[in-house]
């Protein structure tokens, strides 16, 4: 898997470590549990999006961009990491954020939003029914008319180029599994915009790795599986492997979404508490909390024996705790 032909900037502290979860393993009494700490990637309090941004902002720099635009939810981790990366690179950053109708002061001003402003990003806050992508396109046109050079990034940084960051992660996981003598029966991650799971699926397909299970944080299973498969296909196309069909490689579980995106569930609260109290591991209520609930359910399911190992990819999002304190 040769990625040298793609422009790339160094943003993340890689490879992120893989750590055992011994007390949680004992508590659940099932397979051996591990976590890949993509919450420790460094810049701007870390997270999974830095992997994608290394490739996306590499292209932006090659194109001579001076302003980066992207879209997300009000408490978007992707937006926060984009703002931090732009600060590092000396680029202007504009964030088009959609606010929920269930807005609190913490949601509007704390957590990731506080950091967005600290990193110097310009925020455009839209109502829930407004089209973020259309706004971003019109804003980019306005910047062009001013003589600026904008570069637009899709929601979550999820596109073929960005997803290459998680093909890299797949290679890291396989290398680390050999070092740990732990052959992972499955890799589990949160899935929303589909790029993290899609990139992992693409990388594992090329490298003959284990299956990737996505735990949906929004949407229904069929919708999310189609999205992740599309994201995997986009990455494989860039790698010259468009003939590979990953449809059968994509599995998404949607039982942990609950009432909807960023809406709390009992299983999410249990996951946050178990991770924190047994392992000192901090999750967030929107992404990793629900995904870890799915990870725990898989460990409890009896599908995997005690000698087997499962890996959870911690995608970060810790600042979200302070945007949704009432959810914890």
- Residues with catalytic roles: 76
CATH tag for 18-47+159-327 (out of 3.40.50.720, 3.90.1150.10, 3.40.50.150, 3.40.50.1100)? 3.40.50.1100
- Per-residue pLDDT tens digits for 87-137: 999 999 999 999 988 789 999 999 999 999 999 999 999 999 999 999 999
Class of domain 51-156: alpha beta
Q: What value does the mean pLDDT of the chain take? A: 97
DSSP 16: P
Q: Count how many residues are written for the chain.
A: 328
51-156 matches 18-47+159-327 in CATH topology? yes
Smallest CA-to-CA distance from 250 within 298, 291, 200, 208 is with 200
According to DSSP, residue 12 is labeled B
pLDDT (0 to 100) of residue 103: 84
CB burial class (10 A; 0-12, 13-18, 19+) of residue 53? buried
Calculate what percentage of the chain has a pLDDT beyond 90: 96
Residue range 255-277: mean pLDDT, rounded: 97
Q: What is the pLDDT of residue 102?
A: 77
pLDDT at residue 212, as a whole number: 98
- Listed by start position, the domains of the chain span 18-47+159-327, 51-156
Before 290, cis peptide (omega within 30)? no
Using the predicted structure, report yes or no on whether residue 205 has a pLDDT greater than 90.
yes
- What the block records as the tokens of 150 is 């904008």
Report whether 302 contacts 30 (CB < 8 A). yes
Q: By percentage, how much of the chain surpasses pLDDT 70?
A: 100
pLDDT(184) > 90 = yes
Rounded Cα distance between 219 and 215, Å, is 11
> Is 2's pLDDT higher than 90?
no
Q: What is the pLDDT of residue 39?
A: 98
Examine the pLDDT at 1 and tell me if it is beyond 90. no
């Amino acid at each position: 898997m040769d990625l040298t032909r793609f422009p790339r900037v160094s943003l993340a502290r890689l490879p992120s470590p893989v750590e055992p979860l011994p007390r949680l393993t004992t508590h659940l009494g099932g397979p051996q549990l591990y976590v890949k700490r993509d919450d420790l990637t460094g810049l701007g309090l870390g997270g999974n999006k830095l992997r994608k941004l290394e490739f996306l902002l590499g292209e932006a720099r090659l194109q001579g961009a001076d302003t980066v635009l992207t879209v997300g939810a009000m408490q978007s981790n992707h937006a926060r990491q984009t703002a931090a990366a732009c600060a590092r690179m000396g680029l202007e950053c504009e964030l088009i954020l959609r606010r929920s109708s269930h807005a609190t002061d913490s949601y509007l001003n704390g957590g990731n939003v506080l950091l967005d402003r600290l990193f110097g990003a310009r925020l455009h806050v839209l109502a829930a029914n407004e089209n973020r992508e259309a706004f971003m396109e019109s804003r980019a046109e306005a910047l062009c008319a001013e003589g600026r050079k904008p570069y637009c990034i899709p929601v979550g940084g999820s596109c073929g180029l960005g997803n290459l960051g998680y093909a890299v992660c797949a290679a890291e996981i396989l290398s680390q599994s050999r070092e740990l003598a732990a052959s992972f029966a499955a890799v589990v991650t949160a899935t929303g915009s589909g790029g993290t799971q899609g990139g992992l699926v693409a990388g594992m397909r090329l490298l003959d790795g284990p299956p990737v299970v996505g735990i949906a944080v929004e949407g229904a299973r069929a919708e999310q599986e189609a999205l992740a498969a599309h994201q995997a296909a986009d990455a494989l196309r860039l790698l010259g492997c468009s003939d590979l069909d990953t449809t059968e490689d994509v599995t998404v579980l949607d039982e942990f979404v609950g009432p909807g995106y960023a809406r709390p569930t009992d299983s999410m609260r249990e996951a946050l508490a178990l991770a924190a109290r047994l392992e000192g591991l901090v999750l967030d209520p929107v992404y990793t909390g629900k995904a870890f609930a799915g990870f725990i359910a898989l460990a409890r399911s009896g599908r995997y024996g005690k000698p087997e190992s499962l890996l959870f990819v911690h995608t970060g999002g810790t600042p979200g705790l302070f945007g949704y304190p009432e959810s914890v």
